[in-house]
Amino acid sequence: MFWETDNMSESQAALYIRLSKEDENSEISASIVNQEALLREFADKHKIKVYDIYIDDGWSGTTFERPAFKRMTEDIEAGRVNMVITKDLSRLGRDYIMTGYYMEKYFPEKRVRYISLLDGVDTGVESSANDITPFKAVMNDMYAKDISKKIKSVKRDKQKKGKYIGWKPVFGYKHHPEDKNRIIIDAEAAVIVKRMFCMAAEGRSCHSIAEQFNKENVITPSEYKGIKISGRGHNTGLWSSSRIGEMLRNEMYTGNMVQGKMVKLSYKSSKCIKQPKEKWIIVENTHEPIIDKETFYKVQKMLESRKCTRERKYDYILKGLIYCHECGCPLGVINRKNAAGQDVLYFVCRTYQRFSGMDMCTSHGIKEEKVTEEVTAKIKEIFEKNADYGKFISAAEEKLNNYTQNNKFENEKQFIQRRKKMIAEKIDRLYMDKLDSIVLAEDFERIYTKLKSEESSLTEKLSLLKSINTQTDKYAENPEQLVKNFAETVIKNRDMIISLIERIELTKDRELIIRFRCTE
């Protein structure tokens, strides 16, 4: 082999090993133990220094977000590794695009030599085996795609037969001890589920149920299942109305198997998308129910009757910018009628609303109109106090003088008037051509409509120019007014608001703290 002639004793090698789930039942040569033995034997034979062994067990080759692979690239970036050895090209990856990227770009740029033993690939020497590597990568990718289709087909077949294929069953159930595709009732959790449905059937809202559970320190599904939550916040471990609503709508509690709610975008992506209900796979009476169907459908009707009140959305200029100073969460907005029956929007603390009685935050709110007024006043104040205010006025005055001197308004006005005259003449000729049967009726309608549309557009533009010219003359005499006018219009432009303001915070004493993206 060509490796015999090449000195590799100076190398610091990474022995990379990968075993995907689809390889688990294949022959022994694909196992972790045999891969490691093969790579170590090669390293010992050629006196290659092994820096470390990197093992991704149970990871698909279609993704490069593997923990050991990422650790290996970190060592490459740090200069600790300058050689990567794998059993074959498919161990590196089965996505031909990313495999090609690492072989053709990443490894060469980092001065890393890549060796695939069974494929005879060595980027450190000239070899015909290297030339066919892209084709092997494509074949590996096609293999991964084919395997993905087969696995997907098997899973879908199991779903249609009512077999459970999920990771952890819905709260209230657990895996059958002898059959992982069956679920049975988890007696301890089922008590909580039954109580939840009972409260809902009595007319309690999702918010009311969540509030009651939190007061009693009822364990949440994530805590019960031992699911680790990254970035724990002050709401972690608490019930929410959305969580209660989600559980109350779950048909699994009636003994029906409901699966296929989410599907992966592709075999190369881990991202999942929601499926419409008509595409769900529902198989009736596959397991013991926790809730009888009569109670379940009664609760559904009650939830549906409240649906319209929960789905209201309001639009306002400061959306996404205002937060609670006390708990740090975004403020919600609600609509209340005043004495005159008019709609009035209020910013309120959602944390207090969702977890009232839990001392999570305080009850405080403020009118949306008042916040907008205070923000407007603050922006005006900044413009007036800013050190560059005078320069801004001078710059505005200079631009206005230049505009007047160049007579751009008059030139554009004359151009529009000439163009409108030409269009009128074209319409006259077109009409005469129609009368003389030179132009067909359908062609006349099409051309006429196009010309009239352009004429209307020019008329609107001319009217706008005249208006701007009037305003310009006004501000040319008083450029300071132009700057003030700009400050007043900023609050009406959401893009400008976002570029100026980072966030607005409301304190428990209803005071506003406005944080600008730049210092005043």
pLDDT digits (tens, 9 = 90+) for 263-282: 876 655 667 788 888 889 99
13 residue type, one letter:
A
Determine phi and psi for 10, rounding to 5 degrees: -85, -10
Question: Can you tell me the mean pLDDT for 9-35?
Answer: 73
Q: Which amino acid is at 356?
A: S
Q: Count of CB atoms within 10 A of residue 390's CB? A: 11
379-387: list long-range contacts, CB under 8 Å, 24+ apart: 379/487, 379/490, 379/491, 379/500, 380/484, 380/487, 380/488, 382/516, 382/520, 383/483, 383/484, 383/486, 383/487, 384/487, 385/520, 386/520
Containing 101, the helix (H) or strand (E) segment is: helix 96-101
Q: What are phi and psi of 329, to 5 degrees?
A: -85, 155
Left, alpha or beta for 58 (phi > 0: left; psi -120 to 50: alpha)? left
pLDDT of 495 strictly over 80 = no
Per-residue pLDDT for 123 more than 70? yes
337 has a pLDDT exceeding 80: no
Q: How confident is the model at residue 68 (pLDDT cuts 50, 70, 90)?
A: very high
Q: Would you tell me which CATH number, out of the four given (3.40.50.720, 3.30.420.40, 3.40.50.970, 3.40.50.1390), belongs to the domain 2-147?
A: 3.40.50.1390
Residue 396: pLDDT over 50? no
Chain centroid to Cα 260, Å, comes to 21
Lowest mean pLDDT across 189-198, 212-221, 226-235, 363-372: 226-235
Strands 281-283 vs 257-259: parallel, antiparallel or unpaired: antiparallel
Neighbouring CB atoms inside 10 A of 68's CB total: 17
Residue 5 — pLDDT band, cuts 50, 70, 90?
very low
Pseudo-torsion of CA 328, 333, 337, 341, nearest 10°?
Answer: 140
**pLDDT range class, residue 388, cuts 50, 70, 90:** low
Percent of the chain with pLDDT over 90: 26
Q: Kindly state the tokens that stand for 242.
A: 């959305």
pLDDT at position 491 is 58
pLDDT digits over 477-490, tens only? 555 555 555 555 65
* Structure-model confidence comparison of residues 54 and 310, the more confident one: 54
Q: Does domain 173-310 have CATH number 3.40.50.1370?
A: no
pLDDT, one tens digit per residue, over 314-335 is 666 777 788 888 787 888 778 7
Quote the pLDDT of residue 403: 47
Helix (H) or strand (E) holding 474: helix 441-477
Structural domain boundaries of the chain?
Answer: 2-147, 173-310, 384-504
- pLDDT, residue 195, reads 95
Instruction: Phi first, then psi: give them for residue 519, nearest 5 degrees.
Output: -70, 150
Element containing residue 137 per DSSP (H, E): helix 133-160
Q: What is the pLDDT of residues 408-432, one digit of tens each?
A: 566 677 778 888 888 888 888 877 8
Segment 98-110 shows an average pLDDT of: 88
pLDDT, position 2: 43
For residue 244, give every residue at least 6 positions away whose Cβ sits within 8 Å of its Cβ, in sequence order, or none.
196, 200, 206, 209, 210, 213
Q: Residues 243, 210: contact at Cβ < 8 Å?
A: yes
Average pLDDT of the residues of the chain: 78
Q: What is the pLDDT of residue 1?
A: 42
Whether the predicted pLDDT of 86 surpasses 90: yes
Which of the residue ranges 148-162, 222-236, 432-446 would you say has the lowest mean pLDDT? 222-236
For the chain, the farthest-separated pair of C-alpha atoms sits apart, in whole angstroms, at 96
**Residue 40: predicted pLDDT:** 92
Q: Residue 379's closest CA among 496, 261, 213?
A: 496
CA 491 – CA 228 distance, rounded (Å): 43
Q: Which residues contact 505 (CB under 8 A, 6 or more apart)?
A: 322, 323, 324, 325, 512, 513, 515
Q: DSSP per residue over 391-422, as a string?
A: HHHHHHHHHHHHHHHHTHHHHHHHHHHHHHHH
Q: What percent of the residues of the chain are helix, what percent strand, and what percent coil, each to the nearest 5?
A: 50, 15, 35
The confidence band for 28, taking pLDDT boundaries of 50, 70 and 90, is very low
> What is the three-state SS of 171-217?
CCEEECCCCCCCEEECHHHHHHHHHHHHHHHCCCCHHHHHHHHHHCC
pLDDT, position 422: 86
